[in-house]
Structure 1
């Protein structure tokens, strides 16, 4: 089976590609702008005909689109998150109409949730910001494409390799810098929101199952932890894992604007289990331990120098 992964240099895409690379009987193809890519793709600027030629040459049985922009300017968000999936669908219809398309969406497409209630795939979307709005536009392009396609609406990913552009990765970087200094202070924004955290390795497994599943799938599946965790609790647990002995200070309204707009987010993951046999296998503590193992300071060698 030939599976093409777009966005494999990113956080989610790297884990998806790694999992598919180890799958017996799979030929992994990487798509992107780098010179070493198997398929040259730039979803922000390519024309449909040019991408269709690339896809026809690659002849994938499935395409997993992990490409996306998060903390970018509005134009980049629109180009990558909204135009990109629409372009990909147009090219696939021309070059590989039988290929399975797995597109990674975002729980941010739902917008503010109701405390105590898990949101289902049939609930209306109402994104609170530009990121969620552009991701929703990409989801609409995929679900209306007429292709054999499924959108995985991913919760807040956490785990090894989390980038500093997201809160778990940023906190891990700050903790690594603080070390075990009991006088250290971590100043963060508002941590009162509840989020549905899901291990990045579980996201990769869901993408693999969706790409290789036999028969049609529902157009939309939630991929989350299925539990709303206070962001403050995530920070506390990560600090414990890191052995941090200082103070964590919430600096009022210094957090992201979306935290104030979306105070609660939790996904119902029943449909993903029914369609894919998928459930998250990593709890939050395991995710944070893996995050810290990858991001924290390396243990010192016999001369006090960090081990290689």
Structure 2
């Protein structure tokens, strides 16, 4: 069934199905919808303690077929479905073979698009991509949605392919869908292998009395609080006129990695001798500079980031 903003309700009613609901972003998306009073269903491979009483459905999107996914959406009368899954995650690991990344970031997305198209009353699909899809850009450059993507590694290539699948289907009128390209995330309950998650783990060990080392680079990257991301997802589920669009979601400035370390030092109150900073390159998903142009999200969603990185790290520490 073709859809062009057809699944959008406009009044914030109806059920939201959150795929990847137990992940870092997914749990906050679930909570953000709960705060609106909108019923939400959590979908993931395994349940987690933080689901907070939301209905849970066990499903691995990378293994499911479109018929199974469509039945799930029909059963819950989904008006919005959020794809917060990612083939690179804390359970499966960040460094996976390209074939596995293809399966989770491309094949699973195609399955979801087919499922949404097959539903009698199709929901809006909000798909979470990544700013890494653009690839490295010169220092000082803010990537705009029209910036030609030049992904630099298998992860970014497969994420771009998944986003392209969603946008193409929406522009062909097959589904009502929007893609949010999300910058580096920070904030409460980080994934352990993410940079904020590594920072948190090292500083907790240091506060407990260990001496730890931390690799620090001169990189500057766009970090956005996970709760700001969740707000953007809620807005993207209901705003008219955004089907077929890609919208950047970022924090609005490039933050030095050293700044983040300094903020967490102050927040944690750790003994300065307990954390040794080692200046050397750190492997990442993209280049040493990242900044999103977020004007389109402001214009079309009425969204802007409101949590400064310093507050985000503070809340991460005390969560």
> With structure 2 as the length reference, what TM-score do the two structures score?
0.85
Give the C-alpha shift of residue 37 in structure 1: 5.7
1:49–1:7: structure 2 CA closer, same or farther, 3 Å change rule?
Answer: same
Q: Does 1:105 align with 2:118?
A: no
1:305 maps to what in 2?
none
> With structure 1 as the length reference, what TM-score do the two structures score?
0.87
2:294 maps to what in 1?
269
2:110 maps to what in 1?
86
1:302 maps to what in 2?
none
1:1-308 correspondence runs (5 A): 1-24=14-37, 26-34=38-46, 38-70=56-88, 71-74=94-97, 75-96=99-120, 98-146=122-170, 147-179=175-207, 185-217=211-243, 219-244=245-270, 245-246=272-273, 247-250=275-278, 252-253=280-281, 255-256=282-283, 258=285, 262-294=287-319
Aligned Cα root-mean-square deviation (Å): 1.9
In structure 1, distance between residues paired with 2:235 and 2:166: 18
- Structure 2, unaligned runs of 5 or more: 1-13, 48-53, 89-93
Structure 1: which 4+ aligned runs deviate by more than 6 Å?
A: none
In structure 1, distance between residues paired with 2:24 and 2:241: 29
In structure 1, distance between residues paired with 2:307 and 2:300: 20
1:303 maps to what in 2?
none
- Structure 1, unaligned runs of 5 or more: 295-308
Q: Retained in 1: the 8 A contact 2:212–2:276? A: yes
In structure 2, distance between residues paired with 1:215 and 1:96: 21
Aligned length: 288
In structure 1, distance between residues paired with 2:277 and 2:69: 49
User: Over residues 57-107 of structure 1, what are the superposed CA-to-partner deviations in whole Å (9 max), with x where a residue is unaligned?
Assistant: 222111111111221412332221111111100111112563111011111
In structure 2, distance between residues paired with 1:288 and 1:270: 24
Q: Retained in 1: the 8 A contact 2:28–2:230? A: yes
Q: Retained in 2: the 8 A contact 1:189–1:256? A: no
